[in-house]
Structure 1
Amino acid sequence: MDNKEFRNPEAILDVQDKPTFGHWLMLSVQHLFTMFGSTVLVPLLVGLNPSIALFASGVGTLVYILCTKAKIPAYLGSSFAFIATMQALMKHYGYPAVGQGAISAGLVYVLVALLISRFGSKWVDTVLPPVVVGPIIIVIGLSLATTAANDAMLNNGKYDLTYFGVAIFTLLITIIFNMYLKGFPSVIPVLLGIVCGYLLALAVGIVDLSGVASAKWFSLPAFDILGINYKFKWYPAAIITMAPIAFVTMTEHMGHVMVLNKLTKRNFFKDPGLHRTLLGDGLSSIIAGFVGGPPTTSYGENIGVLAMTKVHSVYVLGGAAFFAIVFSFIGKVAAVIQSVPTPVIGGISFLLFGMIAANGLRILVDNKIDFEKKRNLIIASVILVVGIGGTYLQMGSFQLTSIALATLFGILLNLILPEKAMSEIEQENK
């Protein structure tokens, strides 16, 4: 299929459609709110500057859009896969080591992108057929279910009924907006839901506005530019520990591209090509490492917004990136967004993460995967339990996450298992 000439009839705004200025503004801010919490949470957990991470995510997303010829609607934010390793590096060496690790991870992406550009990506259809892709996408959505539930219920690790009430209200009001609003408001249910949830959270007193009061209107992020803000020194331990994790996040990267393929009814592995998506992701992490931010990756939360609203315009994602850069310099605005409490995010996440999983289920249905066949049943079963169960492989400081491990199992089983079990062949011969 030629992605350039194709237009998805199910989309309200397709990939290349341009919204009006007012609509563009609201739709882009909706994506900004969606990704903000996770993007600033990673640097807070590691000990980095959240404003730098916000800036890096915006620049990285624009670079990604440029590398993919503005054909893929995706947002890149701070990656969670590197948190444990970055925390250890910060403890022993400080940020310069984390920066070198982020750059090395990005360079791995760039190297793989060059190899795929040279030798092609036809292997993708062989190793990732629908029976593997569908369950992987389900895992990508449902593996985040615990995060959504914890955000909705827990206040400093303890169950809080007020938190849960705010989360359920946010969820229900977003569903109502999505189902019953007409016209333009019907495509910004997430933004409206977050605003309503935030107002309720204010009313019940669970919003901390101290950061807003102390924040400056204009604040230049304290960039840690490699080799300029500090004397350059090699940190081999950072490179050795962070570079291999790039192979793990690549599986998640491809999983997100699969979801986008399904949503937009395109094949981004062919056009603009997997090498371009990997190149954009890799360059984004390299830029983040140079300015003092964590490695980046495509965000499932924003894919959930695409699924819910059916607004797939790359201009909207580019707008979110633009505002992320602007807001990284405006302390008050960034502080207001950062003050959105976790139950509001949790309530929204119930819907967004579930929609990602539901799209994996649609792939299985649309491709008429026959679960009477033992082969299909085994592949899907292993992927789902390994991925959703949180199973991981730990070897020293290197960790293969549950999504990556489930993907690996799925690929191997698909390549190894015969089309039919012996009992099925025997049954046919009778």
Structure 2
Amino acid sequence: MEEKHANGAIYDLYERPPFPALFGLSLQHLFSMFGATVLVPLLVGLNPGVAIFSSGVGTLLHMLITRGKIPAYMGSSFAFIIPMGSLMKAFGYPAVGQGVLSVGVVYLIVALIVAKAGSAWIDRIFPASVVGPIVMVIGLSLASTAAQNATINSATSKYDIKIFIVALLTLAVTILYNMCFKGFMGMIPVLLGIITGYIFAVLFGLVDFSRVMTAPWFALPNFNSIFESSRFYPSAVLSMAPLALVTISEHLGHIMVLNKITGHNFFKDPGLSHTLAGDGTASIAASLVGGPSVTSYGENIGVMQMSRVYSVWVIGGAAVLAVLLSFIGKLSALIETVPGAVIGGVGFMLYGVIAAAGLQVIVDSKVDYSKKRNLMVAAPILVIGIGNFHLQLSNGLDFSGVALATVIGILLNLILPKVAASEK
């Protein structure tokens, strides 16, 4: 099937693929987000099944609030791992839940401010000279994660040549599928890459099926509630709520990427206030069932860029599958066996595709880097973001390199003169 839209889409925002294609495309998104969404609760001490459930429900709520106009998938946020882990060890889930709830409330407050103040300011603080490098950073900042997954055995924390080989093979077949297949098969190269990579992983002895054999067919997620304790935990709010400002800046970056690859302006329709409110509501819903805070996922944006399928029906289908999957014990356990080697191999492609979208912003807008101002804006953004020059405070607050790069890029664009003194 060939592209049939000016933006290169095979299926644009509101087009619904036939059911067999819809299922396969949605499954591709499910696989892409699964590793990261499950990893967060495993690191923190929460139930992975609840996190999967929260991601699906959160995505559906986000779609409802944005009136079904944004193809964004909500997954577990890595920005809150440190405070959530500390709160879980010290107080248990009610404290974590209150923190997650406070994150959602901050989003809603910011959304209300944006709704009152409007979004005309976005074009001023996010010109192409800022947007391009930030989008590149969002993809390239994940490069080290992909490289670690593709080389390190998580069980031993040591370099493993078998993992390296499987990752390279997964990358190779994903590129092959993307370049050589057309029609429906050409729309699911990531899913095909993961499946083929998984087969390689089995042949190399990297997959343990014991958990699948012992898992029940039906398993109710281990839901928790913030109402299990009547105690209020101010430390939870103080340690997590400020970090919402970090993920909000990342949220802006993801919306910019979606604007670029889909050719739609989501800052104007449905508006930034709706996208922020959708994210906030998704986190509030997660807090009520025992899940971690959620945020939009770059992995799924990369899938859209590669497949050229931007349909909100596909994202909604992935959300429904996630909710159903959270109750199917054996299927959930099977997907959890997908090794890091496979995720890393696919990640080499997905994260690079996001970075390339940022490069395309720069090229299409003809940003002139012979001008010192543009260089002085782009250089710090790239190095700070990719190098993860982060601000970590003693109270557990950790502002990621992506967030700092975004803030610094905005400030430089606002305060630097239009022309350097040496160029006058």
TM-score interval w.r.t. the shorter chain?
over 0.9
Counterpart CA distance in 2 for 1:96 and 1:294 is: 12
Other-structure match for 1:387: 385
1:345 corresponds, among 338, 343, 346, to 343
Other-structure match for 2:414: 415
Taking structure 1 as the reference length, what is the TM-score of the superposition? Answer: 0.96
Counterpart CA distance in 1 for 2:40 and 2:393 is: 23
Unaligned ranges ≥5, structure 1 = 1-5, 426-430
Counterpart CA distance in 1 for 2:302 and 2:401 is: 20
Other-structure match for 1:180: 180
Other-structure match for 2:291: 293
1:195 aligns with 2:195: yes
Within 5 Å, give how 1:212-361 maps onto structure 2: 212-227=212-227, 230-361=228-359
Question: Offset of 1:189 from its aligned partner?
Answer: 0.5
Question: Offset of 1:232 from its aligned partner?
Answer: 2.0
Other-structure match for 1:114: 112
Question: Offset of 1:285 from its aligned partner?
Answer: 0.4
Question: Offset of 1:395 from its aligned partner?
Answer: 2.0
Q: Deviations over 1:102-144 (max 9, x none)?
A: 0000000001101111111111111111101100010000000
Question: Offset of 1:172 from its aligned partner?
Answer: 0.4
| SS, match of residue 75 in structure 2 | strand
Other-structure match for 1:428: none
Q: Which residue identity lines up with residue 195 of structure 1 in the other structure?
A: I
| SS, match of residue 78 in structure 2 | coil
Other-structure match for 2:144: 146
Query: Retained in 1: the 8 A contact 2:130–2:413?
Result: yes
| SS, match of residue 150 in structure 2 | helix
1:375 aligns with 2:357: no
Q: Deviations over 1:285-337 (max 9, x none)?
A: 00001110000000000000000000110000000000000000000000111
Q: 1:128 to 1:9 in 2, by over 3 A?
A: closer
Taking structure 2 as the reference length, what is the TM-score of the superposition? Answer: 0.97
Question: Offset of 1:231 from its aligned partner?
Answer: 2.9
Within 5 Å, give how 1:40-59 maps onto structure 2: 40-59=38-57
1:164 aligns with 2:164: yes
Query: Retained in 2: the 8 A contact 1:198–1:344?
Result: yes
Question: Offset of 1:23 from its aligned partner?
Answer: 0.4
Question: Offset of 1:266 from its aligned partner?
Answer: 1.0
Counterpart CA distance in 1 for 2:415 and 2:116 is: 27
Unaligned ranges ≥5, structure 2 = none
Counterpart CA distance in 2 for 1:27 and 1:8 is: 21
Question: Offset of 1:226 from its aligned partner?
Answer: 2.5
1:70 corresponds, among 63, 68, 71, to 68
Other-structure match for 1:205: 205
Counterpart CA distance in 2 for 1:324 and 1:154 is: 28
| SS, match of residue 148 in structure 1 | helix
Query: Retained in 2: the 8 A contact 1:8–1:264?
Result: no
1:87 corresponds, among 85, 88, 113, to 85
Other-structure match for 2:130: 132
Number of residue-to-residue matches in the alignment:
418
Counterpart CA distance in 1 for 2:5 and 2:175 is: 27
Question: Offset of 1:200 from its aligned partner?
Answer: 1.0
Q: Deviations over 1:177-224 (max 9, x none)?
A: 010012110000111111111011111111011111111100111111
Query: Retained in 2: the 8 A contact 1:8–1:14?
Result: no
Other-structure match for 1:366: 364
Which of 397-406 and 35-44 deviates more?
397-406
Other-structure match for 1:17: 15
| SS, match of residue 81 in structure 1 | helix
Which of 20-29 and 118-127 deviates more?
118-127
Counterpart CA distance in 2 for 1:185 and 1:81 is: 35
Query: Retained in 2: the 8 A contact 1:113–1:279?
Result: yes
Q: Which residue identity lines up with residue 393 of structure 2 in the other structure?
A: M
Counterpart CA distance in 1 for 2:387 and 2:33 is: 25
Query: Retained in 2: the 8 A contact 1:209–1:339?
Result: yes
